[in-house]
């Protein structure tokens, strides 16, 4: 089973995105690198803030995602609305969870901030395993996102 090495992942993402300022290109690169770094990650991708109080699917790896998610619904909406990481060990226990894939058992969603500390989207990782994510995952991924998008 492949388990992510966050120091290596951070270095790889930094090297691949150096000098790039297009947010969609950055999202595509991060989604790909993170998705393939760990077997726990079944769906890995971004939802972008495209309208007030609404997220729209961005670059991702895995099966189909929801096309639009309002800030008022689901784990991704909660991360966008509050600007806080959502670490959900059991998606069935999360009020208002949106089941984009019926196989998802746990979820980690991180808000993505630009250099002005505005939420420009969320980074969503789903796992088919219950309680798949740790606080270490959340902190390391938040660090990678900050280094990539808030520069």
Q: Read out DSSP for 121-150?
A: EEEEEEESSTT---HHHHHHHHHHHHHHH-
Q: What is the pTM of this model?
A: 0.96
What value does the mean pLDDT take over residues 105-134? 97
| Angle between helix 135-149 and helix 6-17 axes, rounded to 10 deg | 20
- Give rounded-to-5 percent helix, strand, coil for the chain: 35, 25, 40
Q: What is the mean pLDDT of residues 85-101?
A: 88
Angle, CA 120 vertex, CA 114 and CA 100 arms, to 5°:
140
pLDDT for 8-46, tens place per residue?
999 999 999 999 999 999 999 999 999 999 999 999 999
Domains and CATH numbers, the chain: 6-149 (3.30.450.40)
Is residue 130's pLDDT more than 90? yes
- As given in the structure block, the two tokens for residue 35 are 């998705």
Structure confidence at residue 102 as a pLDDT band (50, 70, 90): confident
Average pLDDT, integer, range 70-77: 96
pLDDT at position 101 over 80 = no
């Amino acid at each position: 089973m492949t388990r992510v090495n966050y120091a290596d992942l951070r270095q790889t993402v930094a090297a691949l995105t150096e000098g790039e300022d297009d947010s969609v290109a950055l999202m595509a690169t991060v989604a790909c690198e993170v998705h393939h770094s760990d077997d726990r990650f079944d769906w890995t991708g971004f939802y972008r803030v495209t309208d007030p109080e609404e997220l729209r699917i961005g670059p991702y790896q895995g099966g189909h995602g929801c096309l639009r998610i309002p800030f008022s619904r689901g784990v991704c909406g909660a991360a966008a609305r509050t600007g806080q990481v959502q670490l959900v060990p059991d998606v069935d226990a999360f009020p208002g969870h949106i089941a984009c894939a019926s196989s998802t058992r746990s979820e980690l969603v991180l808000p993505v901030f630009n250099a002005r500390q505005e939420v420009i989207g969320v980074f969503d990782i789903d796992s088919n395993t219950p309680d798949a994510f740790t606080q270490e995952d959340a902190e390391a991924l938040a660090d990678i996102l900050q280094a990539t998008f808030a520069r």
